[in-house]
Amino acid sequence: MALADKGVPEAEFAPAGAFSPQEREAVYRTIYARRDVRDEFLPEPLPDSTLERILQAAHHAPSVGLSQPWNFILIRDPAMKAAVHDVFTRCNGEAAQMFADERSASYRGLKLEGILKAPLNICVTCDRARGGPVVLGRTHQRDTDLYSTVCAIQNLWLAARAEGIGVGWVSIFEQEDLRPLLGIPPEIVIVAYLCVGFVDQLFTRPELEARQWAERLPLEPLIYEERWGDRR
Ligand SMILES: Cc1cc2nc3c(=O)[nH]c(=O)nc-3n(C[C@H](O)[C@H](O)[C@H](O)COP(=O)(O)O)c2cc1C
């Protein structure tokens, strides 16, 4: 169906052609050059205008029923960061014990967060009640609000990369330990805790790959045709 037949004013439409080669290149470059940053952050604070742009990028993510279930808690207070870091340190010790011998030693050698070093931490949450009791598109898949929040995080991550700002996602926490520190009500889900700041160098491939912890899977076996398991 043509947009013109949808019964909305023509001013609502824009041409949908491909971007110019340079614009396209910039999009793919952003995707491929984005990295998770651990502790390589520079101390300079983000200019307000840059922070605003990356938050706006996050806020323009797709969301189920346009419910926009996210909130962003900006954390700069060293005392708060130290408290969050304490929670991480305890959970990270538990995590190390979950891996078998050699792997555990190698895990302990990895740096997995930049909470104290990053000038800004951002806790991204999902309000599962946003949009009311029945949300278009979420009627049969309750978790689509969480997926939407992750879309916002990816937008933020990519926009930050384009701005020369590194982002590190720290997930080695118990939600219930973070909640009281940040005053997050019980009905709100903590989706991500991000460390954010300028960086002057990034790995060209995932650090976990460069350190032989894991490697990127070949894409081809992950693609099926028509039915699960039918390789093309
Ligand atoms: C949901 C999620 C949680 C993550 N949690 C952590 C974490 O706690 N600590 C860490 O060092 N990296 C974490 N990462 C980063 C991944 O390790 C990283 O994305 C992956 O190794 C690929 O590297 P790249 O992002 O640099 O391409 C997380 C990434 C995602 C998407």
Using the atom order of ligand 1, give the atom closest to the CA of residue 170.
8
**Any domain includes 157:** yes
Helix (H) or strand (E) holding 125: strand 120-127
**Residue 150 domain-assigned (yes or no):** yes
Residue 57: inside a domain: yes
Instruction: Give a yes or no: residue 17 inside a domain.
Output: no
For the stretch 84-134, pLDDT in tens is 999 999 999 999 999 998 899 999 999 999 999 999 999 999 999 999 999
Whether 3 is in a domain gets the answer no
Is there a domain that residue 144 lies in? yes
Alpha carbons 116 and 100: distance in angstroms, whole number:
29
Ligand 1 center to 169 CA (angstroms): 6
Residue 171 sits in a domain of what CATH number?
A: 3.40.109.10
Domain interval for residue 172: 36-204
Between CA 178 and CA 222 the distance in angstroms is 35
Distance 19 CA to ligand 1 centre (A): 30
For residue 1, what pLDDT is reported? 61
What separation in angstroms does the CA of 64 have from each of 67, 130, 209?
6, 11, 33
Q: Which atom of ligand 1 lies nearest, measured to the CA of 111?
A: 11
Mutation to probe ligand 1, out of 124, 169, 202 (largest number of atoms < 8 A from CB):
169
Whether 165 shows a pLDDT value over 90: the answer reads yes
Q: Is 215 among the domain residues?
A: no
Q: Whose CA is nearest to atom 13 of ligand 1?
A: 169
To test the pocket of ligand 1, the residue of 29, 30, 36, 40 to mutate (highest count of ligand atoms within 8 Å of its CB) is 36
Residue 223 and residue 232 in contact, taking contact as beta carbons nearer than 8 Å: yes
Q: Which atom of ligand 1 is nearest to the CA of 37?
A: 26
Residue range 1-31, pLDDT digits in tens: 677 788 899 899 999 999 999 999 999 999 9
125 located within any domain: yes
Q: Do 230 and 224 contact (CB within 8 A), yes or no?
A: yes
For 211-214, the CB contacts below 8 A with 24+ separation are 211/110, 213/106, 213/110
* Number of structural domains found in the chain: 1
The residue written with tokens 């969301």 in the block is: 63
Instruction: Report which protein residue has its CA nearest ligand 1's atom 11.
Output: 112
CA dihedral of 34, 39, 40, 43, whole degrees rounded to 10: 110
Q: Considering only CA atoms, which residue is closest to atom 6 of ligand 1?
A: 170
